[in-house]
Structure 1
Amino acid sequence: MLNPTFEFTRAITRRPASTIAQGLRAEDTGNPNLDTMLKAHAAYVSALRSTGAEVIELEPLEAYPDAQFVEDTALCLPQGAILMRPGAPSRLGEVAEMAPTLRVCYDDVREITGPGRIEGGDILVTGKEILVGRSDRTDAAGVAELAEIAAEWGHTLREVFTPEGVLHFKTDCSLMDAETILATKRLDASGCFEGYRVLHVADGEEAAANAIRFNNLVLMAAGFPRTAEMLDKAGFEIAEIDNTDCAKLDGGMSCLSLRF
């Protein structure tokens, strides 16, 4: 039986659009380059497929420059999918674009109807609960509505808080296995991971905290050698992906796919 927290048979991705330079970002560190972003996206998809999973690659959405960050549009659970309600108004239309694909993949698709806001980047599904981080993009009402749906499907949800200045909860953490979390020291210091095995990213490599465990692989951003070495020594198989361009749009490894 598959472990639904990190063993998957399918993933959904979306190729970046030519309008990516219009994407949201907390601070301007320069515009992403479409050619190199497409190469990195292809390497990401190839890594997912190398585990034997089917990857559904959706076409670019020129009207939505952040649409390659598909994770924010939905939460995929074994029982069904839940369409999110992004906290960034410019991204609300991405959910409607994702819905038809999820309805093909799932018999049961629910949706967050509001008034609350919630994005997938704030949700970490572990072996025992769903952790949801309150952030600038996810509010209390959004968390409460998700908790109701999750409870119907037998899931326990726990609300936690994202550090000041951190875009999403999963900017600073990721699941390595059902009971092991990779996190920044600043997030772990909040106490939100009590009862879990926590691996800290190396000092100065905080951006490495957003990774994904996908079957036998841990996909992580390239350029963080001490964190990669630590994960390797902990027994994880690493695939390093160039995240230079996505990082300019506050994106990371988890943002680029829906996994189920």
Structure 2
Amino acid sequence: MFKNVIVRVPSKSISEGLTSANEGKPVYSKALVQHENYVSALTKAGVNVTVLEPKDEFPDSCFVEDVALCTSKCAIITRPGALSRRKEAALPDMIEALEKFYEHIEYIKEPGTVEAGDIMMVGDHFYIGLSARTNEAGAKQMIALLEKYGLSGQMVEMKEMLHLKTGLAYLENNNLLVAGEFKTAPEFEKFNKIEIELDEAYGANCIWVNDYVIVPEGYPKVQKKIEDLGYKVLVVDTSEYRKIDGGLSCLSLRF
């Protein structure tokens, strides 16, 4: 069960965020409303939400998931692979927020790069995708830090997705949403895989929060598959975040 969530309000500079989506620039006023609805859904799922102030100098800073990995034993501050995001990981308000919840805070160091959008937690085990943003040096540091606290991790080769969790979502109870290249990845054979079709691939980025699953709006086949598994579903529109390669999991730290 998750007790706490940290989010950051999107900044007015969100339209300058990194993107490969080709869907136009996000509209700040819409992004703000969508973020408020996202926080409302999280609150409905029974967590305490810490809301950090926007940072205009960092257009992607609402995607807080990438700058820290929150585990049951420690928080690990990452070192983002995207240069424009590297200083986000050291923002004082984020460190202070984590210090309220964690006695132990660790850091990924050069030459390692890690964005926690590449990390999927399954109990005490963490799958770490090797992507354009997370390198092997960073993944090895991350695994060593996890092992220091009695947790475990393994690397997953990737070729297509931006982040590991772009195409994977663990919904607890051995249920795993899979899209694209991960449908045939040997690492995930033991899971009950719910395959997501190409036309709704973005919908694979859902989040499980205390028996609710938050699902992006506009992906009815994904929503039905999750409801058929017996989960309570909350739907949140993330269309403005999709324009800058972001989704539901990217917008929060959940622990």
Q: TM-score range by the shorter chain?
A: over 0.9
Matches within 5 A, 1:218-233: 218-233=213-228
2:87 corresponds, among 74, 84, 93, to 93
> Which residue pairs with 2:59 in the alignment?
65
Q: CA deviation at 1:186?
A: 2.8
> Which residue pairs with 2:165 in the alignment?
170
* C-alpha separation in 2, matches of 1:27 and 1:256: 17
* C-alpha separation in 1, matches of 2:33 and 2:21: 24
* C-alpha separation in 1, matches of 2:202 and 2:21: 15
Q: Contact 2:64 / 2:250 at 8 angstroms: preserved in 1?
A: yes
Residue 152 (str. 1) matches residue 158 (str. 2)? no
What percentage of residue pairs aligned between the two structures are identical? Answer: 35
Q: CA deviation at 1:48?
A: 0.7
Post-superposition CA distance 1:58-111 (Å, at most 9, x none): 000000000000000000011110000000011011111122211122111111
1:191 corresponds, among 186, 194, 197, to 186
Distance 1:167 1:203, change over 3 A: closer
3-state SS in 2 of match to 1:205: helix
Residue 81 (str. 1) matches residue 70 (str. 2)? no
Q: Contact 1:127 / 1:178 at 8 angstroms: preserved in 2?
A: no
Q: Runs ≥4 in structure 1, deviation > 4 angstroms?
A: none
Provide the aligned C-alpha RMSD in A: 1.1
Distance 1:185 1:19, change over 3 A: closer
> Which residue pairs with 1:3 in the alignment?
none
**Matched residue type, 2:32:** L
3-state SS in 1 of match to 2:171: strand
- Higher helix fraction (1 or 2): 2
3-state SS in 2 of match to 1:19: helix
Matches within 5 A, 1:1-260: 7-97=1-91, 98-127=94-123, 129-164=125-160, 166-260=161-255
Distance 1:143 1:178, change over 3 A: farther
Q: Contact 2:21 / 2:242 at 8 angstroms: preserved in 1?
A: no
**Matched residue type, 2:166:** T
* C-alpha separation in 2, matches of 1:186 and 1:249: 21
Post-superposition CA distance 1:177-206 (Å, at most 9, x none): 142211114312122202111111234111
**Matched residue type, 2:113:** R
Q: Contact 1:163 / 1:187 at 8 angstroms: preserved in 2?
A: no
Post-superposition CA distance 1:22-74 (Å, at most 9, x none): 11002432110111111110111001111221100000000000000000000
Q: CA deviation at 1:128?
A: 5.2
3-state SS in 2 of match to 1:177: coil
* C-alpha separation in 1, matches of 2:10 and 2:26: 11
Post-superposition CA distance 1:128-178 (Å, at most 9, x none): 5210000000000000000110001111211102232x1000000111114
TM-score of the pair, normalised by structure 1: 0.94
Higher alpha-carbon deviation: 215-224 or 81-90: 215-224
TM-score of the pair, normalised by structure 2: 0.96
Q: Contact 2:171 / 2:213 at 8 angstroms: preserved in 1?
A: yes
Query: Which structure 2 segments of 5+ residues have no match?
Result: none
Distance 1:178 1:149, change over 3 A: farther
